[in-house]
C-alpha cells in the first residue's frame, strides 16, 4: 500500500494517502458550500404595526434606528392602537428612514362632524381623451363638458382623494352599504356610453391578457390604485349594444372589469330617448341590453339603468315602469335603480328623501364654479356632505337631524 511519511512529536508516522484525499475533499466541500449556496437576504423589511401599540412601534424603530413620529387622529379603530403607518409592509427600510405612525384616539363624532344623513356625489363621466390642446374651459373637450381630458380626470381623482372622499360601488350605495373610514365621505364614479377610451386595449400579452392604454379612463384609475393603496378604486360603466366598441376584445374587457373590482350596467341597447318611443320599444331597449349582458357576464352585472339623455325626465312618464321591469324574448328583467343626467349630489340612502329609482348625478365638467360644475357642487357639499362613522352597520347623525332618517335597511341608529 502506498503511503506517506510525516513526523509527529519526533516520531515518524505513516498516513494513508486515501485519508489525506478525504480531508482535502471535505475542505473543498466546505468552500463550495460557503461560496455557492445563496446567502439569506440581509435586507431589513417593514413589518405590519397596525393593531399594535405605541410601545411596540418604539421598540421596532429603535431596533432599526428609524426616525419615528406619532400622529393621533379620531378613528373608528380601537383607541390607542395603531391604525396606519407611512411605510408599507415588506418595504425595505434603512437607518434614519422616517416612519410616521398613526394612533387612534377612538371616534369623536363631533370632532369628525359625522353626519350619515348628508348627500353623496355620483359623478357622471363619458369619454376620457388623451389630448393637451383643448379649446374649451378647463378640462372639457366639448362645449357641454361631457368629454374630459386625461389630465383633467387625473386631477379630478386627486381632488376627490385630497378632499376626503373615498370611492364606493354604486350598487352598495343603492343597497345602503356605505363602507367608508370614519371622517371620510363616499363618492361614486360612473361612465356612460361604453366609449373605447373608457378601457382602450392596445393588444394582448404573451398569456392572452389585455394590455390597457395607461391614458384611458381605466388606465388612469389603475394607476391611482397603485399610488394610493388605502383607496378603494372602483367605477360603474354603463354600456350600449356596442359594448366597448372593440369587437375583438369586448368579452375580455367585460370580464377583466368584473375581475378587477369594477361594475357593468345597462345604458339601453341603442341609447334610446324614452320620450320618443313606445312602451314596447322601451321594453326592447332595456330587455335586449340585459340579455346581451347575460350572454357575456351572466349574473355579474348590476341591474341599474343609466337613462340616455336623462329621459324620461320624470317618473310619471308612461315608459318609466317599462324601464323598471318587463319581459323581453321570454326573459324577465327587474331594474333596482336608474340614474339621471343630473346636476347635483343625491341623498344619503338613509335619508327620507332617498329614491333609488331616480337618482341624480353630477356632470364632471368645468365652468368656473358656475352652473353646477365640479367646483360648485363640491363647495355646496362642504355644508351637507355625508360623513361616515366608519361602521357600515350603523347610522350616526347629530341629534337635531333625527327627523331626516328613514331606516329602510334596519341598521342601528346612533345620535350625538
Q: What is the pLDDT of residue 249?
A: 98
CA distance 380 to 401: 18
How far is residue 335 from each of residues 158, 216, 295, 355, measured CA to CA in Å? 33, 29, 18, 13
Asked if 237 and 348 sit in the same domain, the reply is: yes
* Total count of domains within the chain: 3
The x, y and z cell numbers of residue 86, run together, are: 407611512
Total count of residues recorded for the chain: 416
Q: Which of 106, 123, 150 is the last residue of a domain?
A: 106
Q: What is the pLDDT of residue 15?
A: 53
Consecutive sets of 10 residues in the chain, 416 residues long: mean pLDDT of each? 45 60 79 63 88 96 97 88 95 96 94 97 98 92 96 98 98 98 97 98 97 98 93 96 97 98 98 98 98 98 98 97 98 98 95 98 97 98 97 97 94 96
The tally of CA atoms less than 13 A away on the side-chain side of residue 45 is: 7
Asked if 224 and 281 sit in the same domain, the reply is: yes
Phi-psi region of 332 (alpha: psi -120 to 50; beta: other; left: phi over 0): beta
Contact criterion met (CB below 8 Å) for 358 and 131: no
Asked if 340 and 277 sit in the same domain, the reply is: yes
Asked if 356 and 319 sit in the same domain, the reply is: yes
Asked if 101 and 231 sit in the same domain, the reply is: no
- CA nearest 275: which of 235, 238, 323, 240? 323
Between the two ends of the chain, the Cα-to-Cα distance in Å is: 99
CA distance 73 to 76: 10
Asked if 146 and 233 sit in the same domain, the reply is: yes
Asked if 124 and 227 sit in the same domain, the reply is: yes
Asked if 94 and 201 sit in the same domain, the reply is: no
The CATH number that applies at residue 85 is: 3.30.10.20
Q: What is the pLDDT of residue 20?
A: 77
Asked if 132 and 116 sit in the same domain, the reply is: yes
Q: Which of 59, 89, 106 is the last residue of a domain?
A: 106
Contact criterion met (CB below 8 Å) for 125 and 217: yes
The CATH number that applies at residue 251 is: 3.20.20.370
Asked if 198 and 65 sit in the same domain, the reply is: no
CA distance 115 to 259: 33
Taking only the tens place, the pLDDT of each residue in 348-376 is 999 999 999 999 999 999 999 999 999 99
Asked if 279 and 404 sit in the same domain, the reply is: yes
CA distance 129 to 147: 7
CA-based torsion, 326, 329, 333, 339: positive or negative: negative
- CA nearest 201: which of 167, 243, 156? 243
Taking only the tens place, the pLDDT of each residue in 103-159 is 999 899 999 999 999 999 999 999 999 999 889 999 999 999 999 999 999 999 999
Q: What is the pLDDT of residue 181?
A: 93
281 contacts: CB under 8 Å, gap ≥ 6: 272
Contact criterion met (CB below 8 Å) for 387 and 183: yes
Asked if 70 and 205 sit in the same domain, the reply is: no
Q: Name the residue range of residue 11's domain.
A: 3-36
Please state the pTM of the whole predicted model: 0.82
Strand partners, 322: none
Amino acid at each position: 500500500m502506498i503511503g506517506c511519511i510525516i513526523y509527529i512529536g519526533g516520531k515518524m508516522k505513516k498516513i494513508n494517502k486515501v485519508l489525506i484525499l478525504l480531508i482535502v475533499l471535505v475542505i473543498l466541500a466546505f468552500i463550495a458550500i460557503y461560496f455557492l449556496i445563496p446567502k439569506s437576504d440581509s435586507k431589513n423589511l417593514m413589518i405590519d404595526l397596525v393593531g399594535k401599540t405605541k410601545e411596540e412601534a418604539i421598540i421596532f424603530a429603535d431596533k432599526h434606528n428609524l426616525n419615528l413620529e406619532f400622529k393621533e387622529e379620531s378613528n373608528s379603530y380601537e383607541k390607542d392602537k395603531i391604525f396606519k403607518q407611512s411605510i408599507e409592509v415588506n418595504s425595505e427600510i434603512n437607518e434614519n428612514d422616517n416612519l410616521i405612525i398613526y394612533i387612534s384616539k377612538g371616534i369623536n363624532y363631533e370632532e369628525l362632524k359625522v353626519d350619515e344623513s348628508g348627500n353623496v356625489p355620483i359623478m357622471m363621466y363619458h369619454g376620457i381623451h388623451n389630448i393637451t390642446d383643448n379649446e374649451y374651459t378647463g378640462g372639457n373637450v366639448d362645449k357641454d363638458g361631457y368629454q374630459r381630458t386625461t389630465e383633467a380626470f387625473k386631477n379630478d381623482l386627486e381632488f376627490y382623494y385630497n378632499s376626503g372622499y373615498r370611492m364606493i360601488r354604486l350598487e352598495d350605495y343603492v343597497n345602503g352599504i356605505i363602507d367608508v373610514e370614519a371622517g371620510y365621505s363616499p363618492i361614486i364614479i360612473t361612465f356612460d356610453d361604453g366609449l373605447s377610451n373608457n378601457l382602450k386595449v392596445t393588444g394582448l400579452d404573451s398569456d392572452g391578457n389585455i394590455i390597457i392604454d395607461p391614458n384611458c379612463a381605466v388606465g388612469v384609475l389603475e394607476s391611482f390604485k397603485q399610488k394610493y393603496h388605502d383607496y378603494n378604486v372602483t367605477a360603474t360603466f354603463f354600456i350600449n349594444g356596442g359594448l366597448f366598441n372593440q369587437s375583438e376584445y369586448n368579452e375580455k374587457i367585460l370580464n377583466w372589469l368584473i375581475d378587477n373590482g369594477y361594475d357593468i350596467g345597462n345604458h339601453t341597447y341603442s341609447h334610446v330617448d324614452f320620450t320618443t318611443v313606445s312602451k314596447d320599444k322601451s321594453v326592447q331597449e332595456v330587455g335586449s341590453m340585459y340579455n346581451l349582458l347575460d350572454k357575456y357576464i351572466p349574473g355579474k352585472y348590476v341591474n341599474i339603468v343609466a337613462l340616455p339623455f336623462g329621459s324620461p325626465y320624470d317618473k310619471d312618464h308612461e315608459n318609466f315602469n317599462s324601464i323598471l321591469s318587463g319581459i323581453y324574448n321570454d326573459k324577465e328583467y327587474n331594474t333596482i335603480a336608474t340614474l339621471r343626467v343630473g346636476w347635483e349630489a343625491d341623498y344619503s340612502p338613509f335619508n327620507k328623501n332617498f329614491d333609488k329609482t331616480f337618482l341624480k348625478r353630477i356632470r364632471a365638467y368645468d365652468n368656473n364654479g358656475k352652473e353646477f360644475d365640479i367646483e360648485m357642487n363640491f363647495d355646496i357639499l362642504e355644508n351637507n356632505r355625508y360623513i361616515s362613522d366608519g361602521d357600515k352597520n350603523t347610522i350616526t347623525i347629530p341629534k337635531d337631524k333625527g327627523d331626516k332618517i328613514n331606516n329602510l335597511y334596519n341598521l342601528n341608529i346612533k345620535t350625538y
